[in-house]
Structure 1
Amino acid sequence: MTSTPSDWITTPLTAALVRGALDLERTERGLLPHRLPARARAQCADPQLHMAESQPSGVRLVLRTRATAVELDTLPTKRVYTGAPPRPDGVYDLLVDGRPAGRAVAAGGDTLTVDMATGATERRPGPVATVRFTGLPDEVKDVEIWLPHNETTELVALRTDAPIEPAPDRGRAVWLHHGSSISHGSDAATPTTTWPALAASLGGVELINLGLGGSALLDPFTARALRDTPADLISVKLGVNLVNTDLMRLRAFGPAVHGFLDTVRDGHPGTPLLVVSPVLCPIHEDTPGPSLPDLSALSSGRLRFRAAGDPAEVGQGKLTLRVIREELARIVRERAAEDPHLHYLDGRELYGEADFAELPLPDGLHPDAAAHRRIGERFAELALAPGGPLALAPGGPLGRGSGRPAPHTK
């Protein structure tokens, strides 16, 4: 059946159709998903954080329908880095009954130009774009549209050629994850192939991804967001952004980790909680930050990063990835004596030296699509599979994540 404009049914975009967001903001143009609540956003003016948390990594529309065609009007924000190669358009992944069924991009939208040398930005408004999926099976089914993990995306309108309703809760455990740009999905190909999305699919869990590019900085408001979000399984991947930003010294790092974990435990006292240290990143294994763009690479149209610190400063308390791993392992080991549900995973088990030799980091910091797949598969095997620290007992009851509420809409 071919749909005509007169066949379309427009359904209001509401929180009942959205999963993976902690907050939904009504804007002049539509509905903007956020991955941090409004109170957290109000406590930090950092534009990097605001860009990252508004990029809907892991956020998806989930509905039940027999529609054969779906249209979604969106207003994406495209990023352009001065002197760097053009970024590909963000991808929308379609799943039907949990299986890949289509992929699309949205032309148009606003453009944000970023000068990495100076930090200056310029925004240029653009038109609403339409993503269209057709040829869906003419039967009742669950439909998921995963939004681009790396483009701020306002939802404007949803149209189908048959009525829709929110998909029922299938009772799967909710996995709440926090991490850096790698967890956010930087350099993954699509929203369902970021490593957390892949791991969630392989592990049969519902993902809430609080991976925040450049912003996994032990912020108290992020810890409170984790504390207040219903979940059955929690993981926090900590360290690399503290080196990237050269934010704190060793003296501050240990107490900050303790405070972060204490806050999470205030809301989830018995939930399985996995602390994951950084994956291998050779430029920062023994050299402190900050991470800075390599301007010589930019001049030739390539985006690469370099470690700008001095290894001699480690003795003065500057952080490297090696120092952070040792400290995280110590903290978890000591806390686990009184917290049997707290666990540690060395990030090099997800991506280590042999992986770097085979799948090097293209820009010096971020894994490519193939490495995302490897990290996701390994996390599912090491953490989510039976016997892993985040494995639920077979047939066991769900925890706070069951009966999960819809995100707040303002």
Structure 2
Amino acid sequence: MHTEHDWITTPLTAELLRGALDVEHTEHGLIPHRLPAAARAQNTDQQLAMAEAQPSGVRLAFRTAARAVELDILRTKRDYAGFPPRPDGLYDLVVDGRPAGQAPANGGNVLTIDLSTWQGEVTPGPVGTVRFALAEGEKDVEIWLPHNETTQLVALRTDAPVAPLPDRGRRVWLHHGSSISHGTDAASPTGIWPAVAASLAGVELVNLGLGGSAMLDPFTARAMRDTPADLISVKMGINLVNQDAMRLRVLGPAVHGFLDTIREGHPDTPLLLVSPIHCAIHEDTPGPTAPDREAIANGRMLFAPMGDPAETAGGKLTLTVIREELARIVKQRAADDPNLHHLDGLTLYGQDDAAELPLPDHVHPDAATHRRIGERFAAHVFTEGGPFSARG
């Protein structure tokens, strides 16, 4: 800890957090969760448990005149056996709505995953500290937590008092999607495409992008039903193919049920159903998706489809099939639900985009593509005439 400041330690509470649906108190501090306890209790999948505890879109938000801030954290970083260590997660500083700095964490635990078994082993590490210098004067401060590392918040120190950020009257946008919405391969927490879109639109983001876990789970729908929101979107499809989770017969009723549950709590809220972006390996080839063993043996992380295009005749899902079904469902429901809207994911990232900005591992966008998707989403959805326009 620096000694030239007279530090004030502020208790870490849910009131200082934006974007989390729950908090868990541990022996070290506070873990922000993006699914409530009731949903977590019904989950048995380790991937989802890890994803929802990674604070994508979650930020500390407070008002202060402080010139310096220190945040003690205990992170859990994810690496893959046989590959170089992944980049450290970044903390993005936003002051009065504008980017104001970045910092990595130090210390922390490392979860090393064996891609041949998907089993992991944790190597414990110490608590680390993130530090920022701030300008003079009262200001709104947000510290966006790494989107791809589980983060236990241990202590917050400043050289002036802090107070929870007051309500600025911005609309709350609740979004659910896959690892693409979670932010896999984005450069930093404010670089994930939902955060890019939210910043351009001037809305408060609650991001339920859950890596590998946009599976139409009823407990996720109930969490969305019970979360206050002015705008809601659901981006659905790639994980259903990745995991070969269901057939066409089941998809339609499952989507209807998911939307029905959301509508129980938000009967008139603008609700947008977004179909998958372009992903060449699964446009017309069903899943499941698996790591490409040959590429991995050569030190490259790539994914490959395991299905056969002929299997679509038996009801197996491809992205093309899912896009058609989602468009059909929205058209059917919109007759009785004028606040339900549809967005074709190919308008966010299509075949021409893939030629210019290919998906590095065949599934996930890189940092530049996250920005493009976020900018296009804002342009299609939040501008005048769009489903989330200020005029509705």
TM band (smaller chain): over 0.9
1:81 equivalent in alignment to 2:86: no
2:298 paired residue number: 300
Deviation at 1:85? 3.3
Cα deviations across residues 139-195 of structure 1 (Å, max 9, x unaligned)? 000110000000010000000011111111100000000000000001000000100
Q: Does 1:56 align with 2:55?
A: yes
Structure 1 residue 138 displacement after superposition: 1.3
Distance 1:368 1:120 in 2: 26
Q: Are 1:85 and 1:301, in contact at CA under 8 Å, matched by a contact in 2?
A: no
Tell me, in whole angstroms, the C-alpha distance in 1 between the residues paired with 2:4 and 2:39: 41
Give the alignment partner of residue 337 of structure 1, picking from 331, 335, 338.
335
Report the AA paired with residue 44 of structure 1. N
Question: 1:95 is matched by which residue type in structure 2?
Answer: V
Aligned residues of 2:5 and 2:159 also touching (Cα < 8 A): no
Contact 1:180–1:214 (CA under 8 A) maintained in structure 2: yes
Contact 1:182 1:367 in 2 (8 A): yes
Higher RCO (CA-CA < 8 Å; seq separation 6+): 1
Partner of 1:258: 256
Partner in structure 2 of residue 152 of structure 1? 150
- Would the aligned equivalents of 2:71 and 2:129 in 1 still touch at CA under 8 Å? yes
Letter in 2 for 1:24: V
What is the aligned-residue RMSD (CA, Å)?
1.1
Q: Quick one: which of 200, 203, 206 aligns to 1:202? A: 200
Quote the Cα distance in structure 2 between the aligned partners of 1:254 and 1:25: 35
CA distance in 2, matches of 1:371, 1:335: 32
Q: Please state how far the C-alpha of 1:83 moved relative to its aligned partner.
A: 2.2
Task: Tell me the distance in 1 between the aligned counterparts of 2:282 and 2:267.
Answer: 34
> Aligned equivalents of 2:11 and 2:43: distance in 1?
31
Match of 1:403 in 2: none
Partner of 2:369: 371
Deviations 1:25-67 (A, max 9, x none): 0011110000000110110110000000000000000010010
Q: Structure 2 CA distance, aligned partners of 1:129 and 1:187? A: 23
- 2:217 paired residue number: 219
Which residue pairs with 1:361 in the alignment?
359
Q: Counterpart in 2 of 1:36?
A: 35
Equivalence for 2:114: 115
Residue by residue, what CA displacement relative to the aligned partner does 1:56-91 show, whole Å, maximum 9, x if unpaired?
Answer: 000000010010100000011011111233210000
4+ aligned runs moved over 6 Å, structure 1: none
Alpha-carbon distance, 1:5 to partner: 5.5
* TM-fit CA distance, 1:105: 0.5
Aligned-partner residue type, residue 93 of structure 1: D
Shift, 1:128, TM fit: 0.3
Aligned to 2:238: 240
- Listed as ranges, the gaps of 5+ residues in structure 1 are 395-410
The 8 Å contact of residues 173 and 233 in structure 1, kept in 2 or not, is answered as: yes
1:96 aligned partner: 95
Q: TM-score, normalised by structure 2?
A: 0.99
Residues 323-349 of structure 1: per-residue CA shift (max 9 Å, x gap): 000000000000000000000000000
- Aligned residue pairs: how many? 392
Cα shift at 1:6: 5.5
Name structure 2 gaps, 5 residues minimum: none
Q: Which residue of 1 is the match for residue 326 of structure 2?
A: 328
TM-score, with structure 1 as normaliser: 0.94
2:48 alignment partner, SS class: helix
Alpha-carbon distance between aligned partners in 1 of 2:83 and 2:269, rounded to the nearest angstrom: 43
Instruction: Provide the residue aligned with 1:402 in structure 2.
Output: none
Contact kept in structure 2, 1:177 and 1:210, CA below 8 Å: yes
Whether the 8 Å contact between 1:202 and 1:380 is mirrored in structure 2 is yes
Q: State the match for 1:284 in structure 2.
A: 282
Who is 2:226 aligned against? 228
Partner of 2:182: 184
